[in-house]
């Protein structure tokens, strides 16, 4: 199995993350801890089919809840990717981009002023993930609570 993501993106997280299992375990933990749907919802932005939101409102809501500016990639007027960035100590930071809108939007995937949010089925983490996370405690990385 190729471990492109851990080799390309995980190397900057050393020494906290030392192998592929730790990299992907940490990715799942951060995915759960920094739940973008919950961030948006708490800021009054509901994920729904076809409803448009000001891009600046989405960015400001994420920035306020997360503690750093996201990087957003759009496709056909909808958010395709929303990236959160972390420093080497796994603390939230602004995503650094060469960008157009508020320093937060990828230049190669321009987003319009008003965007729609995609609907999706959230990732469900199985019991086996909970067991993997208990092995990660030795690295003093906060773990999220998972329920099946």
In the chain, domain spans: 35-138
pLDDT of res. 135: 44
What dotted CATH number matches 35-138? 3.90.730.10
**Residue 107 pLDDT level (bands cut at 50, 70, 90):** very low
Confidence class of residue 7 from pLDDT cuts 50, 70 and 90?
Answer: low
Does the structure show a pLDDT above 80 at 99?
no
Is the whole-model pTM more than 0.85? no
Determine the pLDDT at residue 47: 79
Position 4 scores a pLDDT of 52
Is the pLDDT reported for residue 145 higher than 60? Answer: no
DSSP state letters, 50-83: T-EEEHHHHHHHHHHHHSS--EEEEETTEEEEEE
Whether the per-residue pLDDT at 61 is higher than 90: the answer is yes
Provide the mean pLDDT of the chain: 73
State the Cα–Cα distance between residues 69 and 148, nearest whole angstrom: 31
Phi, psi angles (nearest 5°) of residue 16: -60, -40
């Amino acid at each position: 199995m190729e471990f492109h993501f851990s080799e390309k993106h995980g190397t900057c997280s050393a020494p906290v993350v030392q192998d592929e299992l730790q990299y992907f375990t940490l990715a799942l933990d951060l995915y759960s801890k920094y739940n973008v749907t919950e961030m948006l919802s708490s800021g009054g932005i509901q994920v729904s089919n076809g409803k448009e939101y000001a891009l600046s409102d989405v960015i400001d809501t994420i920035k306020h809840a997360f503690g750093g500016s996201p990087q957003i990639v759009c496709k056909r007027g909808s958010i395709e990717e929303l990236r959160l960035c972390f420093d080497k100590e796994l603390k939230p930071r602004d995503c650094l981009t060469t960008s157009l809108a508020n320093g937060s939007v990828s230049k190669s995937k321009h987003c319009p002023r008003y965007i729609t949010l995609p609907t999706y089925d959230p990732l469900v983490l199985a019991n086996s993930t909970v067991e993997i996370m208990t092995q990660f405690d030795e690295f003093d990385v906060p773990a999220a609570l998972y329920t099946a």
